[in-house]
Structure 1
Amino acid sequence: MSVQESTYTFEGLPLNGVEPGTNVLVTGPALGGIRELTMRMLLRGHAREGALVLAADVDGRQALTDYESLGGDLDFARVGVVDCTENGADDEEHNVHAVGSPADLTGAGIEFSSLYERLHANGAARVRTGVYTLSPFVVYAPAKSVFRFVHTLTGRIRTADGLGVCAIDPGAVDDQTLSSVAQAFDGKVELREADGQRAVRVRGLPDQPDGWQPVELDTP
């Protein structure tokens, strides 16, 4: 089976593999381990996979540090970040491209496309793309603009047989906005904490475990 035909797998997580071209919305509280869960879903399964993060809650260098601390291989030919924070800065050595603000959705889209193409040109047969998190985009930009941005992003990922993993804290946005954004995704992974135990539940994706599944996350 070729790289393009095989599923995306998530080592160490209670999730079954998903088909190329799948976009997943990850929901959960910002301080409940959602960053770690999102980053672990972006860990490259093999050398010919790339990873691209649109970072809005943390700057580009911190996103790379988080990724590496969870076992991510920082091969900067095939790993990169679009830094959408207000204090972000370009860092060519570490493949970080800064936009300047979560409000600049056009700039974020341009940098995403450019970096996506660069990772493919550098030998990444397919790319895992993550957004951590969508919440700042919703705060800084009009909801309709965010909706269009997310649809464009997920459409590009779907066409390229990539994987999209976008995190959002439901408590940080209104229900209507969350419902609108969710339409761009094929399914959802929900994260919760109850009685000191974290668990995930998958909605809308085929061949996944039923109900809530315990998950071990190191994030406090």
Structure 2
Amino acid sequence: MSCMHKYRLGLEELDAAIDGVSGGIGILVEGPSISGKEAIVYSLIRQGLDDGEGVVLIPTMETGENVLASYGNTKNLRVVDCMSRPLGLDRLDSANVKYVNGPGDVTGMGVWTGRLLAEFSGRPVRLCIDSLSTLLMYSSLQLIFRFLHMLNGKVFAAGGLSVGVVDEGMHDQKTMASLRQLYRAALELKEGEDACYVRAVRLTPLPTPWFRFGEVIE
């Protein structure tokens, strides 16, 4: 069952260092707006699909069709699309993609995400919101906090993994502190001269070493 399942992050050295992530936990992917953040999110989603988990993704800067095209096996991938309608694209809900009115439609996102999570009842499931920073451009911190608290409650009760992505430099300390209340652990990102690095915090007794995971793109 999902409560015994160990979640992998799709980053070989980091996965070896933390020996899998137990269900019922939230991870905040935080760092500056660097090119490597997309690679981290891709690895997290790809690993869940490869491991046969249910994956629910809320991308705030990509259409559902583009997301599906990024992954080969989409049988267990569900997407809440926030972008197609604001772009004027006429799309109908499908098994894989559900449409809401935009990044500010928190109610619609909550309804569809809850239904999609329920599709994977009794199975390992991971939820990823990419990104929280975009949601906070359209709604108040208080509203987003309640929204995330509700969704994380559903994920944690199911023994799942919840991932939120945030551009750290866009927010003040109060906002970051509030988000960290909702996600017990973190993947911290930084950029070196020629590479991007990641480490896990609060998934092990001490932070892991920094691991290289991608090249810097100028």
Alignment check: 8 A CA contact 1:82 1:98 kept: yes
Alignment check: 8 A CA contact 1:9 1:45 kept: no
User: Which secondary structure does the structure 1 equivalent of 2:177 belong to?
Assistant: helix
Q: Deviations over 1:45-94 (max 9, x none)?
A: 6564111101112121222233x1xxx5211xx21100123336644446
1:172 to 153, 170, 173: 170
Aligned length: 210
Mapped partners of 1:126, 1:162: distance in 2: 6
Distance 1:205 1:139, change over 3 A: same
Q: What TM-score, normalized by structure 2, do the two folds share?
A: 0.85
Gaps of at least 5 residues in structure 1 are none
Superposed CA RMSD in Å reads 2.4
More helix by share: 2
Alignment check: 8 A CA contact 1:36 1:217 kept: no
- The alpha carbon displacement at 1:112 in A equals 0.2
| 1:23 paired residue number | 26
2:54 to 50, 54, 57: 50
| 1:201 paired residue number | 199
Alignment check: 8 A CA contact 2:132 2:164 kept: yes
- The alpha carbon displacement at 1:31 in A equals 3.6
| 2:179 paired residue number | 181
- The alpha carbon displacement at 1:21 in A equals 1.2
Distance 1:133 1:174, change over 3 A: same
| 2:103 paired residue number | 102
- The alpha carbon displacement at 1:6 in A equals 2.5
| 1:37 paired residue number | 40
| 2:138 paired residue number | 140
- The alpha carbon displacement at 1:154 in A equals 1.4
Taking every aligned residue pair, what percent have the same amino acid on both sides? Answer: 27
| 2:115 paired residue number | 114
1:126 to 124, 127, 131: 124
| 2:10 paired residue number | 11
Mapped partners of 2:159, 2:34: distance in 1: 31
User: Which secondary structure does the structure 2 equivalent of 1:11 belong to?
Assistant: coil
